[in-house]
Amino acid sequence: MTIKSLGNPFDGDRALTHSKQCGCTECKSTGARADVDVRSPILTDRAQQDLVADGGDSEAMLDRAIESAVVRSVFGHNDHSRRSFMKMIGAGSAAALIASVFPMEKAKAAVKESMGKLEKSRLNVGFVPITCATPIIMASPLGFYEKYGLDVTITKTAGWAVARDKSLAGEYDASHMLTPMPLAISMGVGSTPEPYIMPAVENINGQAIVLHNDHKDKRDPKQWKGFKFGVPFEYSMHNFLLRYYLAENGIDPDKDVQIRVVPPPEMVANLRAGNLDGYLSPDPFNQRAVWEKVGFIHLLTKDIWEGHPCCAFACSQKFATQNPNTYGALLRSILDATQYSNNHDNRKEIAAAIAPKNYLNQPVQVIEQVLTGYYADGLGEIKNVPNRIDFDPFPWHSMGVWILTQMKRWGYVEGDLDYKGIAEQVYLAGETGKIMADMGISVPDKTYKNHVIMGKTFDPDKAEEYTRSFTIGRV
Amino acid sequence: MASLNVRAALLSISFLILVLGLWEMSTQPPKAQENMTEYEMLMGGVEQESRVPPPSAVFKLAWEELSDPFYDAGPNDKGIGIQLAYSVSRVLAGFVAAMAIALPVGFLIGMSPLMYKALNPYIQLLRPISPLAWMPLALFIIQDSNASAIFVIFICSIWPMLLNTAFGVANVRQDWINVARTHELSNVRTALTVILPAAAPTILTGMRISIGIAWLVIVAAEMLVGGTGIGYYVWNEWNNLDLTAVIFSIVMIGIVGMILDLVLSKAQKLAEYTE
């Protein structure tokens, strides 16, 4: 997803009816940078600055949106007359002309003011030190929270159970969680029931199956009977994706292998000690296993499900209702940071910002390999997979439904499930979509879509049927 | 001929040098290789096995950390001095709370065989529970991770104090209590002026055991709840698989534990008496 940062309304060559990175022929021919490969790792500094200046700053984006609204209304929303007028008199004089009759700066200030007074500006947000939390973490050193008037203390947390307990105890106002966790907490599965909401997904992709170096000759999952695998938490995409992958290969994850819950930081040590044969875990611990020469990357999870959600930004329903403006500002800063993280040109800067002791506490080179997707796989090859990890905040309802089908499939929940009802209550695709649109981020026009996982299509309208369609499962 | 002490000290130091020397020699990293291929660079060098860091690296890190022990670079990165101060303050808070309950209750069950018999089954049941097993329950009920850590310290340090106090009080020589009785001292005065001094050495032994356990437990508790403290420091460095820092913090934990024990053993010496 790219930033649909608004076109400059004072630019006669720019159509305002098209988004900035619109790929239509008109935009291409007018020189809009529709198709610069933002994913290529080598971009000149100049191009990078351009991109940041154009799209990175939401303050500027908001200013631009207001300018655009004013200019458009001056020309009665007729883009042709606007463009010919701008070409005739030039952007600078047009801006001065409009400013002389319309208090542009005051309008901008008024709009920002109307976003409301913050009920609470000092917040505690928890995170588990993994690259999935990149937006939550980097928003602190790179000043995204400050920009929205928030003073956020981000606290490193030892594992998911503690993150859950500290959130439920109210020590954290909001927290980095795994996408299945707010669903599980809301249903009271594996915790006391408390209505939780998940307004944004943090990252998509970005996990991997790592095997111990002794298993270099066992690349076929059918040879994995008797293996001991680690996953970071029961209610995690890691657990569900590993189970899915094993089951598709004819291995029953409950009978043929052992799946243990191991906190991510302990994965590498356990792999080295031989307690685990492999794991499906968040980065940087996959790349770290390679760096430590203990294991190799067997498969990136993007090859199981391209674009699967992983971690989430979540808080209690109570926090959002009691502090609507604070919640809004926090969500905006997260969305803003997520957009920034998704830009591949910013990845090296982010890697350097989040590697120190205060945040991930990992070698920069490891984080960089994860975020840029240019990495050693531990088998002697260098891979270049730019979308190894991406950041896309939109919380698709269909993703929530898929997670619920897997929770039922493996017996974490029993009985009839209102798949869509629960997903819609917890995953706030509608609200987040509106805020994203406000911020000029392009938003999909629906909240359900079909997902393809290992070649099999999942249709969220046929959830129960899907749950029962697997030969290996507990239903 | 030097005295025995001096000779023992010399021998002890030479053992240390010998062990550290062997350790240093056996863990030398290979020379940094030049002209690494790109793959080797992405792998963090060509060296095939990871090894325990040499003592020189630990000393170097110790020097860096100890020369600036109180820096504060954000909520998740504080100096070793601050971390230790957090841990010690938690231990003391839990310890004092345990003392406030263990001493009176210990006196009660030490002086009254009835109370002893009535409470003993519960004490025996609760005593062997690992303090960390209380952690999830504490987090849920207290709803505050810092207070939960203190509670865990409280629950682990209460038992040795309680039992030692009860034992000490119950074993005060009956003659002394009889003397107090002939002087018509009230129960409270008897407890404070006769029994307390008489049982003090045993009570302090209990406290010394307690503080030792509390210091053992705080590291584990802080590894669980995170945030601050020496346990968190160890966990954070483990997270980075940085054994140098882990070894350094092990040494620091040992030193602080030793100091805590020394303080109580001095107090114990003060309370000792000969009949």
Site from A165, A213, A285 to mutate, B interface, most B CB atoms within 10 angstroms: A165
Residues in chain A: 475
Please tell me the predicted confidence (pLDDT) of residue B97. Answer: 94
Flag if B226 and A157 touch (Cβ within 8 Å). Answer: yes
Site from B38, B39, B42 to mutate, A interface, most A CB atoms within 10 angstroms: B42
Indicate if the pLDDT at residue A59 is higher than 80.
no
Flag if B143 and A382 touch (Cβ within 8 Å). Answer: no
Minimal Cβ distance to B42: which of A129, A272, A375:
A375
pLDDT-above-70 percentage for chain A: 79
DSSP A376: E
Q: Determine which of A167-171, A327-331, B32-36 has the lowest per-residue pLDDT on average.
A: B32-36
* Chain A residue whose CA is closest to B72: A358
Task: Give the alpha-carbon dihedral of B225, B228, B229, B235, to 10 degrees.
Answer: 60
Flag if B43 and A157 touch (Cβ within 8 Å). Answer: no
For tokens 């039992």, the residue is B163
Q: Determine which of A22-26, A299-303, B62-66 has the lowest per-residue pLDDT on average.
A: A22-26
CATH number of A207-303: 3.40.190.10
- State both tokens at B184: 């018509």
Q: Determine which of A220-224, A238-242, B150-154 has the lowest per-residue pLDDT on average.
A: A220-224
Cβ atoms of residues A128 and A159 within 8 Å? yes
- Banded pLDDT at A292 (limits 50, 70, 90): confident
Q: Decide whether A122-205+309-467 matches A207-303 in CATH topology.
A: yes
Residues A98-130 as b/e (b if ≥16 CB within 10 A, e otherwise) read beeeeebeeebeeeeeeeeebebeebbbbbbbb
CATH number of B54-271: 1.10.3720.10
pLDDT-above-90 percentage for chain B: 25
Between CA A448 and CA A395 the distance in angstroms is 10
Mean pLDDT of chain A: 80
Any chain B CB within 8 A of the CB of A166? yes
- Banded pLDDT at A111 (limits 50, 70, 90): low
Report the pLDDT averaged over residues A135-151: 84
Question: Which residues does chain B have within 8 Å of residue A285's beta carbon, measured at their own beta carbons?
Answer: none
> Which of A116, A310, A132, A299 lies closest to A208 in space, CA to CA?
A299
pLDDT-above-70 percentage for chain B: 93
* Chain B residue whose CA is closest to A359: B76
DSSP, collapsed to helix, strand or coil, labels residue A105 as: helix
Indicate if the pLDDT at residue A3 is higher than 70.
no
Q: What is the residue type of A307?
A: G
Between CA A223 and CA B211 the distance in angstroms is 52
Report the pLDDT averaged over residues B124-137: 86
Q: At what angle do helices B80-111 and B196-225 cross, to 10 degrees?
A: 140
Interfacial residues of B (vs A; Cβ cutoff 8 Å): 38-39, 41-44, 47-50, 73-77, 136, 139-140, 143-145, 223-227, 235-241
Question: Which residues does chain A have within 8 Å of residue B77's beta carbon, measured at their own beta carbons?
Answer: 356-358
Q: Residues A81-96: pLDDT tens digits?
A: 777 777 777 777 777 7
Mean pLDDT of chain B: 85
Q: At what angle do helices A419-426 and A397-409 cross, to 10 degrees?
A: 130
Between CA A63 and CA A86 the distance in angstroms is 19
Cβ atoms of residues A18 and A37 within 8 Å? no
**Alpha carbon separation from A468 to A380, A423, A475 (Å, rounded):** 41, 19, 7
Site from A153, A156, A262 to mutate, B interface, most B CB atoms within 10 angstroms: A156
Any chain B CB within 8 A of the CB of A265? yes
Between CA A298 and CA A290 the distance in angstroms is 11
**Would the pTM count as exceeding 0.80?**
no
Q: Residues A410-459: pLDDT tens digits?
A: 888 888 888 888 888 888 888 888 888 888 888 888 888 888 888 888 88
Domain A122-205+309-467 in CATH: superfamily? Periplasmic binding protein-like II (3.40.190.10)
Domain boundaries, chain A: 25-113, 122-205+309-467, 207-303
Site from B239, B242, B249 to mutate, A interface, most A CB atoms within 10 angstroms: B239
**Alpha carbon separation from B132 to B127, B148, B154, B209 (Å, rounded):** 13, 10, 11, 18
pLDDT-above-90 percentage for chain A: 6
Between CA B44 and CA A27 the distance in angstroms is 45
Between CA A137 and CA A173 the distance in angstroms is 15
Q: Taking the CA of residue A131 as centre, how many other CA atoms within 13 Å lie in the half-sphere pointing to its CB?
A: 36
Cβ atoms of residues A163 and A172 within 8 Å? yes
CB within 8 A of B170, min separation 6: which ones? B110, B111, B116
Report the pLDDT averaged over residues B202-225: 89
Contacts 24+ apart (CB under 8 A), B241-248: B241/A268, B241/A269, B241/A288, B241/A292, B241/B50, B243/B52, B243/B53, B244/B53, B244/B57, B244/B58, B244/B61, B245/B61, B247/B53, B247/B58, B248/B58, B248/B61, B248/B62, B248/B65
Residues A318-328 as b/e (b if ≥16 CB within 10 A, e otherwise) read ebbeebeebbb
Report the pLDDT averaged over residues A272-284: 88
* Chain A residue whose CA is closest to B136: A165
Between CA A236 and CA A132 the distance in angstroms is 13
Please tell me the predicted confidence (pLDDT) of residue A46. Answer: 41
How far away is chain B from the Cα of A141, in angstroms, using its nearest Cα? Answer: 10
Question: Which residues does chain B have within 8 Å of residue A157's beta carbon, measured at their own beta carbons?
Answer: 226
Q: Residues A145-188: pLDDT tens digits?
A: 888 888 888 888 888 888 888 888 888 888 999 998 888 888 88
**Alpha carbon separation from B61 to A20, A85, B17, B76 (Å, rounded):** 51, 67, 19, 19
> What is the ipTM, given to two decimal places?
0.72
Domain boundaries, chain B: 54-271
Minimal Cβ distance to A156: which of B47, B145, B226:
B226
Between CA A204 and CA A209 the distance in angstroms is 15
- State both tokens at B68: 């600036």
How far away is chain B from the Cα of A210, in angstroms, using its nearest Cα? Answer: 15
Q: Which of A67-71, A313-317, B179-183, B256-260 has the highest mean pLDDT?
A: B256-260
Question: Which residues does chain A have within 8 Å of residue B50's beta carbon, measured at their own beta carbons?
Answer: 272, 292-294
Please tell me the predicted confidence (pLDDT) of residue A66. Answer: 66
Q: Maximum Cα–Cα distance for chain B, whole Å?
A: 92
Please tell me the predicted confidence (pLDDT) of residue B158. Answer: 92
Q: Residues A344-379: pLDDT tens digits?
A: 888 888 888 888 888 888 888 888 888 888 888 888
Cβ atoms of residues B52 and B27 within 8 Å? yes
Indicate if the pLDDT at residue A74 is higher than 50.
yes
Question: Which residues does chain A have within 8 Å of residue B47's beta carbon, measured at their own beta carbons?
Answer: 293
Q: What is the residue type of B109?
A: I
Contacts 24+ apart (CB under 8 A), A318-326: A318/A195, A319/A173, A319/A174, A320/A197, A320/A199, A322/A119, A323/A118, A323/A119, A323/A120, A324/A116, A324/A119, A325/A115, A325/A116, A325/A117, A325/A118, A325/A119, A326/A118, A326/A119, A326/A120, A326/A121, A326/A123, A326/A150
Any chain B CB within 8 A of the CB of A364? no
Any chain B CB within 8 A of the CB of A171? yes
